[in-house]
Structure 1
Amino acid sequence: MDSYPLTINDIAKFLDDELAVHRYSPDEKGGVYRPSDQPVSRIGLALEPFADIATWVTDMDLDALWLHRHWQLDMAHLPTDVGVLAHHLPFDEALTMGYNTRLGSQLDALGTPEPLGYKQDATGEKEVLPQRPIGMLIDVPEQEFDYWLNRVKNLFGGYDRAEAGHGSSGWLSTNSRIAVVGAMTDALIREAADRGAHLYLTGAYRKPGQQAVDETGIAVIAVGHRRCEEWGLQALADLLNERLPVECVVHHQPQVVRG
């Protein structure tokens, strides 16, 4: 890792490449939200602005800030030389549930993931942009369903809902293909099952996909939207620490438990 002084523009360019923002429309690309010319040796990462964020920036001696949802940020209270980066949809699709190779590695994926489903945007000039996978299919070592439940719980700190599957397509210890998908629709569930997946890993459990779950017998683990984002936030910090001469300070907000 080189030790040259970084600027917020250097980090933005790096993330442009890593998050493949060329596939997004201009209003979804993200990037530099508040410019700054100062060198960046410490950057703070948070999902959204929080109470006393300006104090946190000062106390942590941060040179820059990255946010997933930046819309409510009051920049008037931030130090004037602190730059701000923001990425919403590119972060969601690359570092939470979707075609996420870092997550695939932590699930012990064997070989290269296969894309599952696609999205495609157009620019204001109606230029069609490159397709983006909605999810991925990964081949994994053969394990029991309870193993994957525990693995997901350890990776994400829990899960919201789990269905073990049933019928002829239900879970068997020889099953070895997982769909990791950023949506839960009838069509995506059926495509995953048709292509050999026996476990559908997603963020939020969605009712429109229930009939497909019942009819295919596919197992489902819904991690929870916030857990996916928190995992992605740490993955972003790991990526920056590994590839750039910058120290990341991550602000993790506690999970809200509802009775």
Structure 2
Amino acid sequence: MAIALRTLVEEADRFLNAARISDYCPNGLQVEGRPQVRRIVSGVTASQAMIDAAIEADADVLLVHHGYFWKGEDACVVGMKQRRLKALLGHDISLLAYHLPLDVHAEVGNNVQLARQLDIEVEGPLEADNPRIVGLLGSLAEPLSARDFARRVQDVLGREPLLVEGERMVQRIGWCTGGGQGYIDKAIAAGVDLYLTGEASEQTFHSARENGVSFIAAGHHATERYGVQALGDYLARRFAIEHLFVDIPNPV
């Protein structure tokens, strides 16, 4: 069965409420390919390796979290950008990308999906009165040591996380997938025992250590694998088309 590309894009935009979210890049259809869609291939980032995988899988649409045309990016179509766009256009593959709309969504969002993977019960936003902060607050059913929770993260994500270990047991958690390390002070103010994100900055260590909380950096890519899979699965069910997630390993 096939669905019109326009119909697929309209449903993804609607489902994610993409038009209402201010972002650093355009969300939705970034590169237009063939008008009918039978197969979606999804992945975290529209790298050349991801495009090659989509070509190999005979995809009609490549669905990603990290697409193109970021604010401040050089607009010239040369070098790496030229090669990527040439490959997509040459094989008539559409690129569909959602950044912040895929982070914040209450059902398929990266943050909610990561919580499900790690058995964290979601309580609410990291800062209720600030919609630009996409992180969440939640809790574990039973308290764990920071090391035991880090082992859970490693088992689920398949990579050893960076752990700054605090002294107290971990039950209340704040988290933001990807590059959300700058939210650690908001999480500390909300009374968390541990803050989890993808990346770490030099000052993150000091914020955690001096405030007596634990901190985990589990990888930008590793923490953002689940939202795009969930969105691809939703669209595949909605329109009775095929969906294949391809994970291109990235240690960052």
Q: Cα 1:35–1:104, aligned 2, differ >3 Å: closer, same or farther?
A: same
Task: Tell me which residue corresponds to 1:151.
Answer: 152
Identity in percent: 28
Paired residues of 2:219 and 2:251 also in contact (CA < 8 A):
no
Task: Tell me which residue corresponds to 1:191.
Answer: 186
Aligned-pair distance for 1:204? Answer: 0.7
Q: Cα 1:189–1:32, aligned 2, differ >3 Å: closer, same or farther?
A: closer
Q: Aligned to 1:61, which of 58, 61, 67?
A: 58
More helix by share: 2
Tell me the distance in 1 between the aligned counterparts of 2:201 and 2:24.
27
For structure 1, the residue ranges without an aligned partner over 5 or more in a row are 121-130
Q: Cα 1:105–1:77, aligned 2, differ >3 Å: closer, same or farther?
A: closer
Partner secondary structure for residue 140 of structure 1: strand
Is the aligned partner of 1:9 residue 2:6?
yes
Paired residues of 1:179 and 1:201 also in contact (CA < 8 A):
yes
Q: Cα 1:63–1:119, aligned 2, differ >3 Å: closer, same or farther?
A: farther
Paired residues of 2:139 and 2:172 also in contact (CA < 8 A):
yes
Is the aligned partner of 1:137 residue 2:137?
yes
For structure 2, the residue ranges without an aligned partner over 5 or more in a row are 70-80
Paired residues of 1:65 and 1:84 also in contact (CA < 8 A):
yes
Paired residues of 2:42 and 2:243 also in contact (CA < 8 A):
yes
Task: Tell me which residue corresponds to 1:126.
Answer: none
Task: Tell me which residue corresponds to 1:48.
Answer: 46
Aligned-pair distance for 1:190? Answer: 3.7
Tell me the distance in 2 between the aligned counterparts of 1:52 and 1:215.
41
Aligned-pair distance for 1:194? Answer: 3.6
Tell me the distance in 1 between the aligned counterparts of 2:239 and 2:155.
27
Output the amino acid matched with 1:136.
L
Q: Cα 1:90–1:82, aligned 2, differ >3 Å: closer, same or farther?
A: same
> What's the Cα RMSD here?
3.2
Aligned-pair distance for 1:100? Answer: 2.1
Aligned-pair distance for 1:184? Answer: 2.0
Tell me the distance in 1 between the aligned counterparts of 2:229 and 2:50.
21
Is the aligned partner of 1:105 residue 2:100?
no
1:199-214 to structure 2, matched below 5 A, reads 199-214=194-209
Output the amino acid matched with 2:22.
S
Partner secondary structure for residue 175 of structure 2: strand
Q: Cα 1:156–1:77, aligned 2, differ >3 Å: closer, same or farther?
A: closer
Paired residues of 1:7 and 1:38 also in contact (CA < 8 A):
yes
Partner secondary structure for residue 13 of structure 2: helix
Partner secondary structure for residue 36 of structure 2: coil
Task: Tell me which residue corresponds to 2:173.
Answer: 178
User: Number of residues paired by the alignment?
Assistant: 232
Output the amino acid matched with 2:86.
M
Larger Rg: 1
Partner secondary structure for residue 90 of structure 1: helix
